Amino acid sequence: MYKVFVNDIPIILSTERDMGEKYISFPLKEVKLKRIIKKINKGKLLYVNLYHDKKEKLLKHLFKKLPVVTAGGGMVLNSNNEVLFIYRNGRWDLPKGKVEKNESIEAGAIREVEEETGVKNLKISKFLQTTYHIFQRKGRYRLKVTYWYEMTTDYTGELVPEEKEGIKKVKWKNMEKAQKALTKSYANIKLLFPEEVLPLHSKDGISHM
């Protein structure tokens, strides 16, 4: 099963034709995805399941529906076990960005974290997961596929928000402050955090399954 977010509403991709009475199910191969997105944005649909019998073909058919933007990002931890957050568009987020042509995803993730926050000496410790969300640019819907990595650093210097990317603040946050920040974050960002760090209302809601 995969979750593809439209704003904070997850479209479920699964092999199940019936996800329960809340969900409206559509065959993934035939569905008019842009119509679904528009209805979600208007608040007319909240629980959507797109199904296909073969799990290995779920993403293949999704990628045929929309142009794909590949991105890399980091959950960065310092020596105090604090997490690096950025503040943009009124929400707390984790640094990420588009991977450039002929650049590995890992290198792109490190570069984007450096550019957006000013943090140096980044090392990837492990891959976390991939998130999917749909956004609109120049009147076209696109699918952003973000590969997330846990990173560590011993950097103790100045944090520099990349203002041209709309980033207002960069902050190190301990787990208590991270939990508070996640109440003003995005559903796909919450997926990256351990259950015990999540705000209470996220643990049972549609944003975290």
The structural domains of the chain, ordered by start, are 2-65 (no CATH), 68-203 (3.90.79.10)
Distance in angstroms (rounded) separating the CA atoms of residues 202 and 187: 8
Distance in angstroms (rounded) separating the CA atoms of residues 113 and 22: 38
Q: Is the pTM of this model over 0.85?
A: yes
Distance in angstroms (rounded) separating the CA atoms of residues 130 and 128: 7
pLDDT tens for each residue of 59-86: 999 999 999 999 999 999 999 999 999 9
Confidence of residue 122 (pLDDT cuts 50, 70, 90): very high
Residue at 130: amino acid letter:
T
**Beta carbons within 10 angstroms of residue 177's beta carbon:** 15
